[in-house]
Chains A and B, each alone.
Chain A
Amino acid sequence: MRNAMKVAKWEIKRNMKNKTFLIGLFLTPLLIVGFGLIGSWIGGDSDDGAEGDEMTVFINDEIGIIDELSQYASESGLDFRIEETNVEIGEVAAELEEAEDTAYVFLNEAALNEGVIPVYIAEDVDSFFSNQLAIFQAPILSYQMETLGLTEEQSLAVSRGIHFAEMDAEEITDDGALEDEAAGEDFLAGIVPASFGGIIFISILFTGMAMFQSASQEKKDKIAEIILSSVTPEELMQGKIIGYFVLGLVQAAVLLVFLVPFILFTTDIPLFEYLFVPETLLFVFIAVLNYLMFAAIFVGIGATIEDVTTSGNFQGIVMMLPFLPFIFIGPVVADPSGLMAQIGTYIPFTAPGVLLLRLTMLDVWPWLEIGISLAIIIVSVFIFVRLAGKIFKVGILMYGKNATPGEIWKWLKA
């Protein structure tokens, strides 16, 4: 183990002194932040397009709720300027002819009784406007009920209406109440630790792939035999896995150093409050296991390839394994407890990724599935590290050619 640590230390030192690695280290977060900014610009533009410029909404208010409406509008963040007007319906056409971003709303008892409130808009106003107007339904309705003489409770009950909601029977909590996690805050509370895990997941995945390079390079530079005169192949492999793990954490740390301030400045998510929860630990644990699994696979496969350009399909397919979870993203998002999601949870290559995604989306964690999945991952890690060791031992010393799947199979059996 001491030798493995020496190798690890060396790999870290070597990469930290390597310009390519350093550039990549800082470029990754810059790119992410950069795309984030571009995204928010583009996103901002499209919002403008949808909402248009400030809407001037003239209300001919015969029932006296204009104050409430303006309050509602400003609370819901709509870009409305609400003004009272005495313009009659007959004059509207003339008023709107020259106007832009303007609407006239006629609120009166007759309209309320009919249930249709006439709205006239200028030509350039887009179709989103009538959707936006829908927020006025609530105050108008409550006014209506008030005038009908309902108590506040009664009116609340009526105005809430009836909805059908699909519920998951498994999610009934002990006290019998349905867990109602509608609030966006709870969603954030789930997504922040998961994103944290995800960042570590991706960072160490990338460095895991760098490890493939490193093992392959070892062959190409023909240094393996020199190193192996001092350490065992197992120690060399372990050292590489540990070293690149640390490098992955460095990458994750750099990423966070850039991302955290960016998120804090651009949003008002109370990041740290969400981050320091027990869930984060589980996510990180899953990410680490995922790293170990793919690190073992990559270091093993790397040891069979001297020249990437002439490597066969087999190695190429193995290289794609870490991206397998992406196949499950669609089905899992659609139904985090569905069959596909469960299948993904039990396949070693996809388990960490799918588990991470599911735990983010599920309000109540299926502990049994998590347990089984973790067990599968841990056993796989153990197996893959052993198999990789066997491949690495022979592969790293095979000069001048890439190993064929047949040869690799033979080494595995040995």
Chain B
Amino acid sequence: MDLMLEVNGLNKSFKDKQVLKNISFEVKKGEIMAILGPNGAGKSTTIRNIMGIMYPDDGTVTFHNHQGKGIPQNKIGYLPEERGLYKNVKVMDILLYLADLKDYPVGKAKERVLAYLKKFDLEGKENVKMEELSKGMGQKVQFIGAVIHEPELLILDEPFSGLDPVSQEIFKDEIRSLRDNGTAILLSSHQMNLVEEMCDRLFMIQRGEKVIYGSLDAVKQEYANFKCTIRGSNERSTLEAIPDVENIEQDGDVSILYLTKDVNPNHWLKQLPDDVTIQELAIDRVSLHEIFIDIATDKHLMPEEGEVHA
């Protein structure tokens, strides 16, 4: 796949606090690359450095496919985390203005606005003022603003925040279809479940540092170990005696056993000791969400950080 964006060794400090430490990743054409991390991890700062809204102290941001200096603003679509649009203007006017700023022809922009409004259930709203729209509708208009000029690289900072499930689905579908049409998409989020469903590769960041970087499958294989949830009153010592258990979390009658990486679930189940009380038992892989929580809360129930190659 063609490389669209390459971020190399970004460092950034505010006052004496280093908020980005040696951040490097790539975004390719036709893929969804997700930056994940808890609030304040440095996701938006990374994106702002890419967009030239902030300047890194160190490191480079390279836009492949772009000759010359600077940021190819007309080829990038950007939906910032802190976003809004002028309130007292019409939907069509503001979108045409945004298209015009990207040097996108007016006629084509108009057609695309109408098509998108229809797609997003906002048909007939083009002459409505922004302030009359609900928050969700406003978000949709902002999204249209980010993609109106058919960007080659689309950067979405927390695109799902504040959206209801129906709108989330619409956004997800649209983001996927943009990817399928060859757009390179960089997406930041802290909503793991959404990201898990759609991203191709991910970059997890915590306190400005890389934690995990790789393709979703590889990450899951690497980090999403099996975990076994057992309901029934068991002594911690009993459970600790079970082989291949890396960590135990107990909450009343429910115990969660985090298994080692190379465990074979069939084998492991067979060797469960008889003295373990089991009312219910479930075995599944740790979800991205749990990995995220684990990292965000520094519990380190799971293996140490590392890099997974896609």
Bound-state CA distance A318–B216 (Å) is 54
Q: How many A-B residue pairs have CB under 8 A?
A: 63
Cβ B142 vs Cβ A226 within 8 A: yes
| CB-based contact A226/B100 at 8 Å | no
Shortest C-beta distance, B3 to chain A (Å), equals 21
Chain A 182-223 per-residue mask, 1 if CB under 8 angstroms from chain B, else 0: 000000000000000000000000000000000001001111
Question: Are A229 and B80 within 8 A (Cβ)?
Answer: yes
Is B98 engaged at the interface, CB distance under 8 Å to the other chain?
yes
A7 to B101, CA, bound (A): 8
Task: Return chain A residues, CB-CB under 8 Å to B48.
Answer: 225
Find the B residue at minimum CB distance from A229. Answer: B78
In the complex, what's the smallest C-beta–C-beta distance from A300 to chain B, in angstroms? 18
Query: CB within 8 A of B78: which of A221, A226, A399?
Result: A226
Q: How large is the interface on A (under 10, 10 to 19, 20 to 34, 35 or more residues)?
A: 20 to 34
Given contacts A3-B101, A397-B53, are A18 and B88 in contact (CB under 8 A)?
yes
Shortest CB distance B130–A (Å): 9
Q: Max chain A CB contacts within 10 Å: which of B79, B82, B93, B146?
A: B82
**How many residues from B make CB contacts under 8 Å with A?**
26
Given the complex, which residues of A lie within 8 Å of B76, measured CB to CB? Answer: 229
Q: Does B306 contact A (CB under 8 A)?
A: no
Contact partners of B238 in chain A: CB under 8 A: none
B265 to chain A, nearest CB (A): 47
Residues from chain B with Cβ under 8 Å of A160 in the complex: none
A6 CB contacts on chain B under 8 angstroms: 97, 100-101
A231 touches B87 (CB 8 A): no
* B53 close to A229 (CB less than 8 A): yes
Indicate if B207 sits at the interface (CB-CB under 8 A). Answer: no
> Contact: B82 with A225, CB < 8 Å?
yes
Q: In the complex, A161→B35 CA distance in Å?
A: 95
The answer to whether B101 touches A230, judged by C-beta atoms less than 8 angstroms apart, is yes
B82 contact set on A, CB distance < 8 A? 222, 225, 399
Across the interface, do B73 and A230 meet the contact criterion of CB distance under 8 Å? yes
B85 within 8 A of A: yes
CA gap between A220 and B80 in the complex, in Å: 15
Q: Once the chains bind, are B86 and A225 in contact (CB under 8 Å)?
A: no
CB distance from B139 to the nearest CB of A (A): 12
CB <8 Å contact, A10 and B97: yes
Instruction: Determine if B83 is an interface residue (Cβ-Cβ < 8 Å).
Output: yes
B51 at the interface (CB under 8 A from A): yes
How near does chain B come to A239, taking the closest CB pair, in angstroms?
10
Q: List 18 A-B contacts (CB under 8 A).
A: A3-B101, A6-B97, A7-B101, A14-B86, A14-B88, A17-B89, A221-B85, A221-B87, A222-B83, A226-B80, A226-B83, A226-B98, A228-B51, A228-B53, A229-B76, A229-B80, A230-B102, A397-B53
- Residues of chain A having any CB pair with chain B under 8 Å: 3, 6-7, 10, 13-14, 17-18, 217, 220-223, 225-231, 397, 399
Chain B residues proximal to chain A, CB less than 8 Å: 48, 51, 53, 73-74, 76, 78-80, 82-89, 93, 97-98, 100-102, 142, 145-146
Q: A7-B101, A17-B93 are in contact. List 19 more A-B contacts (CB 8 A).
A: A3-B101, A6-B101, A14-B89, A217-B86, A221-B85, A222-B80, A223-B83, A226-B80, A226-B83, A226-B85, A226-B142, A227-B101, A229-B73, A229-B78, A230-B73, A230-B101, A230-B102, A231-B73, A231-B101
The 3 closest A-B pairs by CB, nearest first: A222-B84, A230-B101, A229-B78
